[in-house]
Chains A and B, each alone.
Chain A
Amino acid sequence: MSVSEIATGDADEQHTVAAATPAFEAAAARAAARRGLFMALPAYVYLVIFFAAPFAIVVIYSFATRTRTGGISLSGWNLDSYQRLGEQIVRDVLWRSLGLAILTTLICLLVAYPFAYYMTIVSTTARNVMLVMVMIPFWTNFLVRNYAWRLLLSSGGPLSSVTEAIGLGETDLLFTKTAVVIGLVYSFLPFMILPLYASIERIDHSLIEASRDLYANGAQTFRRVVLPLSMPGVIAGSILVFVPSLGAYVTPDILGGGKEVLLGSYIVTQFGTARNFPFGASLSVVLMVVMLTATVAYFRQGGRNL
């Protein structure tokens, strides 16, 4: 391109800018959309290949038939595997998992709220130390952390030694429901603390002062002002803890010893030893639907903080 061409190009462009029309505006908007799509393309492709497509396969499998040898027959579509969800044993697994997930979420909430609140009122240095403490577990492998709990909770382990020393006798929490809840709370607590902290930190401190000035004591101020204003964080944190707790597989297996069958391990069993792909797929679909419902409900609430 010669110098004169460039010069002409500039002139043209200026001319176009000066004579902006609705058509021109629309064309510019389309161009911006094309550029946006182009930039997002790698993420789209990744999600389609590794999420949408596998999920579609799971959905398709859930309506398929299990062959005598444990394979999949992509014919004779039916709802058999969904009907099985009504069986007593399956219902027990679902309710047990749901209860455990709710319990984990509630405990996380109770433990995380004071911690997150405290983080908003201490000095910046102390806050950073607290944040690092929250993040440290992420630097260690998930499996390693679960096995660490196994050592801590086992009979003859540190916890047991302590209770024995103070005269409460030997404790053997390992392979109990309590151990599973402890492990889940431990694993997912940061997901509760961080959004809670973000939303509490955003509360204008003068609102708390105004409440105190208007005759509310500390407890009333918390209930009427702080809690309602931190609800986005409460909801975000609860979803972030509830969803992975519901499908948790590793922790219940390692700390619960698989004594009580939960949804995660039940699904694994269907795909593994039981070789019932359609049933495993239908359970997975149910899990996905519950999670998506929770997420959509959250965003409907005007969700932020995720």
Chain B
Amino acid sequence: MTATPAVEIRGITKRFDDVVAVDAIDMQIANGEFFAMLGPSGCGKTTTLRMIAGLEFPTEGSLKIFGDEVGTLPPHKRPVNTVFQSYALFPHMNVLDNVAFGLRMNGVDRTTARRRASEMIALVRLSGMENRRPAQMSGGQQQRVALARALVNEPKVLLLDEPLGALDLKLRQDMQLELKELQRRLGISFVFVTHDQEEALTMSDRIAVMNDGRLLQVGTPEEIYERPANRFVADFIGTTNLLDGTVVDDSTVCLANGTRVAARSEHPAGTMVAVCLRPERARVVTARDGTESGIGGVIDTVTYVGNARVYTVRLDWMQLRVREENRPGAAPRETGDPVSVTWDMNAVTVVTE
């Protein structure tokens, strides 16, 4: 990367007493990027975000924003703003004063601050609500106020801590599109923390997957989904079947029950691996029709999900999930049907622990 990264994290570690919340993380966020930090709760993603904001200071390491070391700079001296998880709107101020707060603290005179705040309120489509108190607004509206309050300061990086967590599904999907659109229009980096892998996949240019304070993989949604770096990432992103086995050669894996299946890997023979098979990449075919790489099993459950059916297929030693698109005329399979599960060699990934 030739341009200065918006955020550059090198060897950042954060310890709370004896607990290591963030463990020696390296990460670069490019300017203008929609960057998601994804992981289960307690994985260190929020702590990392708070360190960028200046709400926590790193125990070790270097943190640069546009090339300037900011590791121990207090939050009010950083060119970033945060949209908090619970919005953290000031309950004793109306919308206009909430949005104008940052500008006023930055020394902008009252008239200018109010004008710019009004413009930003219009941008998030809340015009006419300037005099309302946060308590008089819906969750979605409060969310927009929080956005406006952060964006009015023209931060170089906008930090968002699970900003959509409190919204219901429909509103959340609308806001996802809106956020993405806003980010494109403003051209600044959005750094976004979420535990919702679907949200991360939909919105981000790049995703950092974290667990237990460690950074497991950074990549585009496609890279993360198609080529997970390890078992955790494969399991966390989307639904997947993980079939344990050992590498035989560069195109064969021997599964736990002795079945040899086609799967490409670069690991030396004998490596303990898992074959990662996405439900939608697997196919069920009627048993014993001569397919080579198929694994025999019995349909256990059939779940109708509208555009598809999801089968669980019981094998001798485990269960597989297979998702089959509904096509007109195709006869659905039923519980108890003996089937074979097959896939293309290119459709699976081999991962290690």
**Do the two shown chains form a genuine complex with each other?**
yes
Stretch from A5-13, A214-222, A291-299 at the B interface: A214-222
**Majority SS of interface residues in chain A?**
helix
A206 and B91: CB pair below 8 A? no
Would you call A209 an interface residue if the criterion is a C-beta within 8 Å of the partner chain's C-beta atoms?
A: yes
Would you call A204 an interface residue if the criterion is a C-beta within 8 Å of the partner chain's C-beta atoms?
A: yes
Would you call A91 an interface residue if the criterion is a C-beta within 8 Å of the partner chain's C-beta atoms?
A: no
Question: What CA separation (Å) do A225 and B89 show in the bound complex?
Answer: 11
Would you call A259 an interface residue if the criterion is a C-beta within 8 Å of the partner chain's C-beta atoms?
A: no
Query: Which chain A residues border B81 with CB–CB below 8 Å?
Result: 213-214
Q: Mark B68-83, 1 if CB is under 8 A from A, else 0.
A: 0000001110001110
Q: Mark A122-159, 1 if CB is under 8 A from B, else 0.
A: 00000000000000000000000000000000000000
Query: Which chain A residues border B105 with CB–CB below 8 Å?
Result: 211, 214-216, 220, 224
Question: What CA separation (Å) do A28 and B102 show in the bound complex?
Answer: 54
**Majority SS of interface residues in chain B?**
loop
B76 and A212: CB pair below 8 A? yes
Query: Which chain A residues border B236 with CB–CB below 8 Å?
Result: none
Query: Which chain B residues border A220 with CB–CB below 8 Å?
Result: 105
Question: What CA separation (Å) do A224 and B91 show in the bound complex?
Answer: 12
A210 and B82: CB pair below 8 A? yes
Query: Which chain B residues border A212 with CB–CB below 8 Å?
Result: 54-55, 74-76
Interface residues of B in 77-98 (CB under 8 A from A): 80-82, 84-86, 88-92
Query: Which chain B residues border A217 with CB–CB below 8 Å?
Result: 74, 76
B84 and A215: CB pair below 8 A? no
Q: A213-B81, A215-B102, A217-B76 are in contact. Are A228 and B92 (CB under 8 A)?
A: yes
Query: Which chain A residues border B82 with CB–CB below 8 Å?
Result: 209-210, 213
Q: Which residue of B lies closest to A217 (CB)?
A: B76
Query: Which chain A residues border B74 with CB–CB below 8 Å?
Result: 212, 217
Q: Which residue of A lies closest to B99 (CB)?
A: A214
B90 and A225: CB pair below 8 A? yes
Q: Mark A57-92, 1 if CB is under 8 A from B, else 0.
A: 000000000000000000000000000000000000
A213 and B53: CB pair below 8 A? yes
Interface size for B (C-beta < 8 A) is 24
Question: What CA separation (Å) do A97 and B45 show in the bound complex?
Answer: 59
Question: What CA separation (Å) do A204 and B90 show in the bound complex?
Answer: 10
Would you call A268 an interface residue if the criterion is a C-beta within 8 Å of the partner chain's C-beta atoms?
A: no
Would you call A229 an interface residue if the criterion is a C-beta within 8 Å of the partner chain's C-beta atoms?
A: yes
Query: Which chain B residues border A29 with CB–CB below 8 Å?
Result: none
B76 and A206: CB pair below 8 A? no
Would you call A110 an interface residue if the criterion is a C-beta within 8 Å of the partner chain's C-beta atoms?
A: no
Question: What CA separation (Å) do A219 and B55 show in the bound complex?
Answer: 17
Chain B min CB distance to A225 (Å) = 6
Query: Which chain B residues border A209 with CB–CB below 8 Å?
Result: 55, 75, 82, 84, 88
Q: A215-B153, A216-B105 are in contact. Are A210 and B76 (CB under 8 A)?
A: no
Interface residues of B in 148-162 (CB under 8 A from A): 149-150, 153
A206 and B101: CB pair below 8 A? no
Would you call A207 an interface residue if the criterion is a C-beta within 8 Å of the partner chain's C-beta atoms?
A: yes
Greatest chain A CB density within 10 A among B86, B105, B106 is at B105
**From A207, A213, A215, contact of B90 by CB (8 A):** A207
A213 and B55: CB pair below 8 A? yes
Question: What CA separation (Å) do A248 and B81 show in the bound complex?
Answer: 52
Q: Which residue of B lies closest to A228 (CB)?
A: B92
Question: What CA separation (Å) do A214 and B145 show in the bound complex?
Answer: 14
Question: What CA separation (Å) do A83 and B31 show in the bound complex?
Answer: 79
Greatest chain B CB density within 10 A among A210, A216, A217 is at A210
Query: Which chain B residues border A215 with CB–CB below 8 Å?
Result: 76, 102, 105-106, 153
Q: A206-B84, A209-B55, A209-B84 are in contact. Are A214 and B92 (CB under 8 A)?
A: no
**From A210, A228, A229, contact of B88 by CB (8 A):** A210
Chain B min CB distance to A271 (Å) = 46
Greatest chain A CB density within 10 A among B75, B81, B86, B149 is at B75
A214 and B84: CB pair below 8 A? no
Query: Which chain B residues border A211 with CB–CB below 8 Å?
Result: 90, 101, 105
Interface residues of B in 43-57 (CB under 8 A from A): 53-55
B88 and A216: CB pair below 8 A? no
B101 and A213: CB pair below 8 A? no
Question: What CA separation (Å) do A98 and B150 show in the bound complex?
Answer: 47
Query: Which chain A residues border B106 with CB–CB below 8 Å?
Result: 215
Chain A min CB distance to B57 (Å) = 13
A214 and B86: CB pair below 8 A? no
A214 and B55: CB pair below 8 A? no
Question: What CA separation (Å) do A212 and B150 show in the bound complex?
Answer: 12
A210 and B84: CB pair below 8 A? yes
B91 and A214: CB pair below 8 A? no
Q: A212-B74, A224-B101 are in contact. Are A204 and B86 (CB under 8 A)?
A: yes
Q: Mark A191-214, 1 if CB is under 8 A from B, else 0.
A: 000000000000010110111111
Q: A206-B86, A220-B105, A224-B101 are in contact. Are A213 and B76 (CB under 8 A)?
A: yes
Question: What CA separation (Å) do A95 and B86 show in the bound complex?
Answer: 49
Q: Can you list 5 pairs linking A and B with CB atoms under 8 Å apart?
A: A210-B89, A211-B90, A211-B101, A213-B76, A214-B150
Contacts beyond the supplied A212-B55, A215-B105, A224-B101: 8 A-B pairs with Cβ under 8 Å: A207-B88, A209-B88, A215-B106, A216-B101, A217-B76, A225-B90, A228-B92, A229-B91
Closest 6 pairs between A and B when the two form their complex, measured CB to CB: A214-B102, A210-B88, A206-B88, A215-B105, A212-B75, A216-B105
